[in-house]
A and B are shown apart, each in its own frame.
Chain A
Amino acid sequence: MTEKIYKKISEIGFGMQSPEFIEETSAAKIVTAELYEKEGYPVDGGLMDVHLGVIDPGLRCKTCGGKLKECMGHFGHIELARPIIHINYATHVYNALRSTCNECHRILLDDKKLTLIREKMEEGKRIDDSDKRRKATKEAIIKSRLIKKCPYCKAKQETVKIEKPTTYMQGDKRISPIEARARLEKITTEDAEILGYNSETSKPEWTVLKILSIPPVTMRPSITLETGERSEDDLTHKLGDIVRINQRLFENINAGAPEMIIEDLWDLLQYHITTYFDNTVSSVPPARHRSGQELKTLTERIKSKEGRFRHNLAGKRVNFAARTVISPDPCINFNDVGIPKSVAMELTIPERVTEWNKEWLIQAIKNGPKKYPGANYVIWPDGKKKKITEETMEQIMEELGHGFQVERHLVDGDQSLFNRQPSLHRMSLMCHRVRVLPGRSFRMNPSVCNPYNADFDGDEMNLHVPQTEEARAEAEVLMEVQTQIITPKNGYNIIGCVEDSITGCYLLTRSDDISKEEAVDLLTSIGMDNVKFTKDKLTGSEIFSTLFPKDFNFIRKNKHGEVTVRVKEGHLEKGIIDKNTIGENNGELIREFYRKYGQKRTIELLGNIFQLGIKTLLKKGFTTGVADTDIPEEAGKKVDALIKKSYSKVDEHIEEFKKGKTEALPGKSKLETLEIKAMEVLNKTRTEIGDFVKSYAKEGNPTLVMAQSGARGNILNFTQMTGCIGQQALGGKRITRGYRKRTLSTFKEGDLKPEARGFVKNTFKKGITPTEFFFHAMTGRDSLMDTALRTPKSGYLYRRLANALQDLKVEYDRTVRNATKEIIQFKYGEDSIDVSKSEGGTISVVNAIHDVLGEKV
């Protein structure tokens, strides 16, 4: 596109509008509350005056002559019959009134104090620190409030009080807005500066309105209902009230009505203008619609999440985006995204016509918007845009030449941005290559679920198509999946193998005695068809090793320093591949491979490992079922015996406690000690049962295999299905709440036995008793509540953090600075290391020694 930025906004100033300015810039003076004439044409001098802009198609603005959408609208004004306090400045008026003398209107501070404050003010001005100036003003106000006698004219000062929202009282006398304005007018420019006004942009008296600016109609468009009836915007309603009361006030004043009536009308006008600016002032009843719904006036338009700032300015809507349900597809690459044809035909990419692509762009135009791969629009070099239809097609193709742009359909390989909300980190928006597939959902490789935190229980995701060359380049270089393998959170890999692919690799590397034919078949199925084996029988490790380059070395040690996995010169010599080596979040083999071979080869390796795992399972067959959790009868009896044993142990403790023999742990009561001991015994029991049950499970029990390889589930899940669900804990303690002195009404008061305090001895398979069910539900509910309460809290914390830190960046001198170039850190993280480029937050010396001098040193 030939769109150019001709001007860049370099700064924005804030200030108040002076009455003169309002009048000068006003396009129309509004004198009547009527909106439309009988024919439906806007009334001259009414609130919908065509001088203020147009919202109806066909009409022309009387100020600038523009049509709908051409004319942005113009401000009008009304003259107020009496001055009105601006509600947002009510406290400022109050401050000015009470810190100035009511006789001579000077600030109630003697020269000495004044100079001090003025100095602070100047200092603030000099270093351009508005906060400092505001602080000086505050000080002046606080100090002058205490002074009862004017240091200049020696007049006695009676304290001014504010009666919320907009009434000022001095003693028993009310300071009318007229008088308030008069007083503010008399404050000198120097004094006004002390009070926090800037002589160039604001004056104290402007806080009391004599003239009210009327926003253009384009800012408050009316909507036509189905019935043909017009429904006006909230602001128009409010302005109507203001104009009506203002006219009435004028009439009454001119007719010489009694002061009482005028005062009442004046207050009413004050009310309407107050609610026009802010309908949520605490001491003012909010203005309402006839239906009782509160009006949304100026302040409400700006503030809160749905307000202008956060809704329209800080966040914007975009074109070229799609959203649909996601589903898994293990057969596509990590950095691909499967896109339905219907989406690919709606989202387009503007492609400039050149010698090299002209032919196929013409083909796209020929296909048109309805046949894939086609094109939807053509843009002329002068910016004219035309939709491709059967009628226009001929002409377009005739004219088409260099400099034209064709908005063509998405094709395989185009860059797109894929996103899932909540976007908690940068991996929530990554660049994927388009792959057009049949179906109606977005398809993704299950391995990239982790960075998005996605699953397939109905999750929807968004897809954006970058429209400019620059955007596409950035997406490709900075955001593609392989650039995000390592998370900047802690330097571990966030993308790795998941679920079945781990199980597959686990089983493969554990097995040996695979025939050559099988091996070749397996490798061919993942696209590796140039591998040659000399042996007839192969081990799984040998097959797995074919994925590595010949110079890859890797050692994984466990906590005790024993080598568990070793890859030497591209050969898996020892160990079994599991989640700790290839899984997400610290899959060490992946991490090491990334360090040595970089992004591109890592993502390739990951893809291959993933496919190998999946295909192995496909060939082998792998299933899990209820039968996995079957245990022989005698084992069941043994489990029961174990539970019984622990029961009697707990009973012993209870007995001890009842006799008062329990020795309290330091700082704990005897009952607490008992609870801790009981917890201990019961938790130990479950672990014992777990170990025991595990020993009974057959070799290769699929449920256990999944747990051991780290693909899904853990031993605890297995225990709970086969042996015993175990103690239910609330807040780290056994369950004690419920009825008086007991948990449920089936138990006796004061029952401390395991079964009365939330121990579930049955298994998920056997089924649980009603009381057990109840306890289990209690802990379940507790954790549900925890999640539900936590999400908004952490969300707010994140928002605050992001807002506070968003401007910090690393400068060219590698210091960390904020938006105003103040230094936060001299070196980022004290060593300038980028976590996402480091090895878990550091550079490993051991690895370096191995790299340079070999492993034997």
Chain B
Amino acid sequence: MTVYEEYKGRLPGRIINDMKSEAEKRNLNDNQIKKVMEYLVTQYDAAKIDPGEAIGIITAESFGEPGTQMTLNVFHFAGVAEVSVTQGLPRLIEILDARKKIKTPSMEIHLKKEHGKETNEVRKIAAQIKETVLREISEEFNINLSKMQLEVTINKAKMREIKAKPEEIIEKLKESHKNIIAKETPEGLSIKPEATENELMEMYKLKEKLKETYIRGVKGVTHVLPVKNGNEFIIITAGSNLADVINIPEVDSAKTTTNDIHETAKVLGIEAARQIIINEAEKVIEDQGLDVDIRHILCIADTMSRTGLVKGITRSGITGEKKSVLAKASFETPLTHLVNASLIGEVDQLNSVIENVMLNQPVPLGTGLPDLVAKMGPKDIKTQKKEDKKEDKE
């Protein structure tokens, strides 16, 4: 495969790989391959992007224009009512804003090969992952006024399903609520606050709180749905908790993903978060039947994740981090920026677009980029200074 070696660096890897497989398919000889590769190099050089190209604006346009064609329908059901996914424009806005709290967090849990085959096993694992709260395994919550205690009737079948024992539940209750006395009864549980004097209102509050007590599973994962994907099962969830899920032994932690960008950044790092931004944005665009080149998505994702932290395209995110005072002021809340700049005595170097537009000067992009450098008359101050320094050293 030496033919390909010499083209490394002259052609992108993907094109070389494409060529490899095509050449194999067609049984080309080295001479032929070489001819084609030379041709490809000329083609590639011709298709290379020009220096000075205002690539940011092109990216923004490529996203802005299809944005007008997207639907606003927030919910589209991925098979199950509970596991719904935000789609279209709202989701795109969510991604680009890098929202901390997304509307429909969801995970795609892949299982290790040996576990992802049988329906029953997958169901079992799914049930294990799902967060169970007390409400879900109980049939009735009663407030016994005479004894001033809460009586919970427990659904035995459900208990068996998740293989939980009453003692365990009591333990969990005690863990999450201090100052309660919980006992096992034939029907289920009786719960009493430690304090002897209790008001009815407080009992009600306690009841509502107890209903949502975490018992089993992964916190935050409210619904699970095993779905057949090819010849493998994956589990789609509503709610997301990547850190805990990838620690489950049956889960293939390398493939499991969440659609929460910040969570990914926290658990897997910025590179993973960047990939999630790309994947999610691409998914939105594809689902809407639109076609936007991956390069534009890459450009946005790279801009958002450049600093090592996920930054949204908002006034507090990327735009707010610009050096130029005027650029920030022209976007949103101009007064705050001006006042702050005046205190600290900021200096705007005028090296971005908008300030030069304001001042009626050529912008440093495209045809505004090249400058003429000419030596004229006496040496200018800078070179003079440099030479002076040199002399000093000598």
Whether A800 contacts B330 by the Cβ 8 Å rule is no
Residues of A within 8 A of B36 (CB): 845, 848-849, 852-853
Which residue in A131, A811, A820 is a CB contact (below 8 Å) of B51?
A811
- Of A299, A309, A666, A819, the contact of B322 (CB 8 Å cutoff): A819
Contact of B365 with A809 in the complex, beta carbons under 8 Å: yes
Q: Contacts A489-B65, A794-B64, A805-B59 known; A828 to B351 CB distance under 8 Å? A: no
A197, A299, A490, A794: residue with the most chain B Cβ atoms closer than 10 Å: A794
With contacts A425-B64, A845-B22 known, is A797 near B96, CB below 8 A?
yes
Closest-by-CB residue of A relative to B340 is A134
CB proximity to A under 8 Å, residues B307-350: 313-314, 317-319, 321-327, 329-331, 333-335, 338-350
Cα distance, A853 to B29, chains bound together (Å): 11
Q: What residue in chain A is nearest B90 (Cβ atoms)?
A: A793
Give the contacts of A820-857 with B (CB-CB under 8 A): 820, 822-825, 828-835, 837-838, 841-843, 845-846, 848-849, 851-853, 857
Query: B residues within 8 A CB of A130?
Result: 323, 340-341, 344, 346
A260 contacts the other chain (Cβ, under 8 Å)?
A: no
Please state if B60 and A806 are interface contacts (CB–CB under 8 Å). Answer: yes
Specify which chain A residues have a CB less than 8 angstroms from the CB of B80 in the assembled complex.
666-668
CB-CB contacts below 8 Å: B13-46 with A: 14-15, 18-19, 22, 26, 28, 32, 35-36, 39-40, 43-44, 46
**Could you tell me if B357 and A424 are in contact, using CB atoms closer than 8 angstroms?**
no
A626 contacts B by Cβ under 8 Å: no
A829 to B298, CA, bound (A): 6
- Quick check: is A12 within 8 A (CB to CB) of the other chain? yes
A24: B residues at CB distance < 8 A:
none
Beyond the given A666-B225, A672-B81, A816-B302, could you list 9 further A-B residue pairs with CB under 8 A, ordered by the A residue number?
A14-B341, A14-B346, A134-B340, A489-B62, A805-B300, A808-B303, A833-B12, A848-B39, A853-B35
In the bound complex, do residue A790 and residue B72 qualify as a contact, i.e. CB atoms below 8 Å apart? yes
Given A474-B367, A805-B57, answer yes or no on A12-B40 (Cβ-Cβ < 8 Å).
no
CB distance from B111 to the nearest CB of A (A): 18
The 0/1 profile, CB within 8 Å of B marked 1, for residues 650-688 of chain A is: 000000000000000011110010000000000000000
Instruction: Flag if A13 contacts B347 (CB, 8 Å).
Output: yes
Set of chain B residues within 8 Å of A830, measured between Cβ atoms:
12, 295, 298
Question: What is the minimal beta-carbon distance from B17 to any residue of chain A, in angstroms?
Answer: 9
CA distance A765 to B185 in the complex (A): 71
Given contacts A806-B57, A825-B298, A841-B293, whether A667 and B82 have CB atoms under 8 Å apart is yes
Across the interface, do A805 and B303 meet the contact criterion of CB distance under 8 Å?
Answer: yes
- Among B58, B89, B346, B366, point to the contact of A793 (Cβ < 8 A): B89
When distances are taken between beta carbons in the complex, the residues of chain A under 8 Å from B156 are none
Q: Which of B67, B72, B339, B350 is within 8 Å of A798, CB to CB?
A: B67
Q: How far is the CA of A667 from the CA of B81 in the complex (A)?
A: 7
Question: How far, in angstroms, from A663 to B92 measured CA to CA in the complex?
Answer: 36
Q: A669 to chain B: which residues have CB within 8 Å?
A: 81
Q: Residue among B68, B77, B319 with the most chain A CB within 10 A?
A: B68
- Tell me, in angstroms, the Cα distance from A462 to B34 when the chains sit together: 51
Interface centre among B60, B65, B313 (most CB of A within 10 A): B60
Interface residue A313 (Cβ < 8 Å from any Cβ of B) = yes
Contact B68 A790 (CB under 8 A): yes
Tell me the minimal C-beta distance from A222 to chain B in angstroms: 26
Bound together, the chains give a CA A252 to CA B82 distance in angstroms of 73
Is B76 interfacial (CB-CB < 8 Å)? yes
Bound complex: CA A474 to CA B362 (Å): 14
B300 to chain A, nearest CB (A): 7
**Size of the chain A interface, CB-CB below 8 angstroms:** 103
CA distance A811 to B83 in the complex (A): 45
Among A302, A492, A811, A838: residue with most chain B CB under 10 A = A838
Q: How far is the CA of A309 from the CA of B70 in the complex (A)?
A: 31
Q: Is the CB–CB distance between B70 and A790 below 8 Å?
A: yes
Residues A274-331 near B (CB distance < 8 A): 278, 299, 302-303, 307, 309-310, 313-314, 316
Q: Which residues on the B side are within 8 Å of A424 (C-beta)?
A: 61, 64-65, 68
Q: Which residues of A contact B28 (CB under 8 A)?
A: 849, 853, 857
Q: Taking A302-B335, A314-B330, A837-B47 as contacts, is the C-beta distance between A490 and B352 under 8 angstroms?
A: no
12 contacts between A and B (CB under 8 A): A9-B350, A12-B325, A14-B347, A302-B335, A667-B80, A786-B72, A794-B68, A797-B63, A798-B65, A803-B331, A805-B56, A833-B49
A172 beta carbon closer than 8 Å to chain B: no
The distance in angstroms between the C-alpha atoms of A811 and B359, with both chains bound, is 23
Q: Which of B15, B26, B46, B338 contacts A837 (CB 8 A)?
A: B46
Q: Given A313-B358, A809-B56, A848-B40, are A802 and B298 neighbors across the interface (CB < 8 Å)?
A: no
Tell yes or no: B66 within 8 A of A by CB.
Answer: yes
Q: In the bound complex, do residue A426 and residue B58 qualify as a contact, i.e. CB atoms below 8 Å apart?
A: yes
Known contacts A92-B343, A833-B48: A819-B351 contact under CB 8 Å: yes
Cα–Cα, bound, A232→B331 (Å):
31
Query: Is A13 a contact of B59 with CB atoms below 8 Å?
Result: no
Does A200 interact with chain B (Cβ within 8 Å)? yes
User: Which residue of chain A has the shortest Cβ distance to B298 in the bound complex?
Assistant: A829
Task: Tell me the bound Cα distance from A16 to B345 in angstroms.
Answer: 8
Smallest Cβ distance from A141 to chain B, in angstroms? 13
Q: Which listed residue, B71, B329, B330, B348, touches A11 by the CB 8 Å rule?
A: B348
